Structure 1
Amino acid sequence: MLMVLVGAGLAAPAQQPSEKERQRCKALNDHILQRALVSMDLHHMVSPVTGGGINMPHMAQLFVRAVRDGCPDADALANDAWSFLDSIGERLLKDGKRVESRDDNFRMLRVSAQSFLTVARPLLEGLEILPRDSKPVRIAASDRR
């Protein structure tokens, strides 16, 4: 069963990384995140815990950059991503069509950012792609159901 999970990319061997491995992975991830501002061609980041690449779509890379820069919540992540996308003239797609409205793009980005914070961020902290943060993720009142 373990071989099937690893083969499907749902599990990976883990290690206690050395400080040297952490620094090397951080340097490569820093380069990948810097490149995310000029290109969408890299789709992985590296984890010192697994010793390998972790699939990371471009939007998730933008959210990782924003979290590392101190963005505390989904609104801040969405604003940061929107600023970047707007600066290069990019828009999100919905049902295969380009979404032109800033408000519609922001709403879609906010949903993605909230999912990133609640699902991806804890995993990325465990993989040491993001530093562990002792502060809990802030959830706006409109997010509570």
Structure 2
Amino acid sequence: MHDTRPPLPPFTEESARLKVQAAEDAWNTRDPEKVSLAYTEDSEWRNRDLFINGRAEIVAFLTDKWARELDYRLRKELWAYTGNRIAVRFEYEWHDAQGQWFRSYGNENWEFDDNGLMRKRYASINDVRITADQRRIAL
């Protein structure tokens, strides 16, 4: 029995928007185990300059990420969709242990299996230093 994660491909505009919102909501929990369940057991990622394979590596990556990126808050926006693929743009804000705030911008390309689990995630991300009063995403 395979896990399923609706909505399932092929995506419509409505189902793609729901998938993007579900991803945003999950990542904003900052719970690596919960987030990892949206990906296939052998999911392939490229995140900046890192290549990550499988749920165990996803959990390790997210655990480390959210230990460094404090008070992380994310917003995602549907950019395009077709069949079993979705492209999003996103931004998130966070601060480091010294209190320096950042806004990180990026794009992701996602590919899903027939059960709605993400099997590929390719992310390009850039960070910009901001001051606390420049924040746009509330905690």
TM-score by length of 2: 0.30
> More strand by proportion, 1 or 2?
2
> More helix by proportion, 1 or 2?
1
Higher-Rg structure is: 1
Higher relative contact order (CA 8 A, sep 6+): 2
